[in-house]
Amino acid sequence: MKFSFVVVMVDVAYQRKSPDNTRKPPCSEFWLLQEDHAHDPWRVLVIYMLLNRTTGLQAGRVITNLFTLCPTEVVTEDIEKILRPLGLQKKRAVMMQRLSWEYLGEDWTHVTQLHGIGKYAADAHTIFCNWDLKLAIEESLESHNWAS
C-alpha cells in the first residue's frame, strides 16, 4: 500500500511545471546553482545535464554564458564552444537541444518523458521547482525499504 502511494506522489511531483515558477527554495549554505534558477524548470533540467561528470564549480563557470546564449534557438557548434571546459561538449550540446525541443512541445506531461532526464534530474525538478524535499526523501527511503 505504501509503495503505491509513493508512486502516485512521484507521478505528481514529476509533472510539467510552468516556466514562471514563483516558488523559490530557501538558500542553502552550499550555493547550489539550482537555487538561483528554480524559477525556470527548463534551466534546472539543463543544469543537471551540465552537472553530469563535472562539478558545480565547473558548471557555474559556463552557466551564465549558456543561458545568455540560449533563450532562443542556437546552432550546436555555439553551444559546444561554451561547454568545452566541461568536456563531453558534443554529446551535451546535442542532448540539450533535443531536451529543449521536447520541452517546448506539448507531447509530455512529466519531466521523465524528456530526453536525457532520469531520476536524478527529475528529483531535482521536484525539489527545486516544487520545493518538495519531503517527497524526494520519502521516495528514497521507500526504495531502500526503510519506510516500511
The domain ranges of the chain are 2-7+36-143
How is residue 112 annotated by DSSP?
A: G
Q: Which residue has the cell 519506510?
A: 147
pLDDT digits (tens, 9 = 90+) for 62-115: 999 999 998 788 899 999 999 999 999 999 999 999 999 999 999 999 999 999
Q: What is the pLDDT of residue 42?
A: 92
Give the pLDDT mean for 117-141: 73
In this structure, are residues 90 and 5 in contact, taking their beta carbons and an 8 Å threshold?
no
Q: What is the pLDDT of residue 23?
A: 65
CATH 3.40.50.2000 fits 2-7+36-143, yes or no: no
**Alpha-helix runs per DSSP H in the chain:** 2-13, 33-37, 41-50, 56-69, 76-83, 89-104, 119-129, 133-143
Give the separation between CA 98 and CA 56, rounded to whole angstroms. 23
Q: Which residue has the higher pLDDT, 11 or 36?
A: 36
Give the pLDDT mean for 36-42: 87
Predicted confidence (pLDDT) at residue 11 exceeds the cutoff of 80 = no
Q: What is the pLDDT of residue 138?
A: 52
Q: What is the pLDDT of residue 22?
A: 65
pTM: 0.77
Give the pLDDT mean for 1-26: 57
Please name which of 29, 30, 26 lies closest in space to residue 38, comparing C-alpha atoms: 26
Percent of the chain's residues with pLDDT above 70: 72
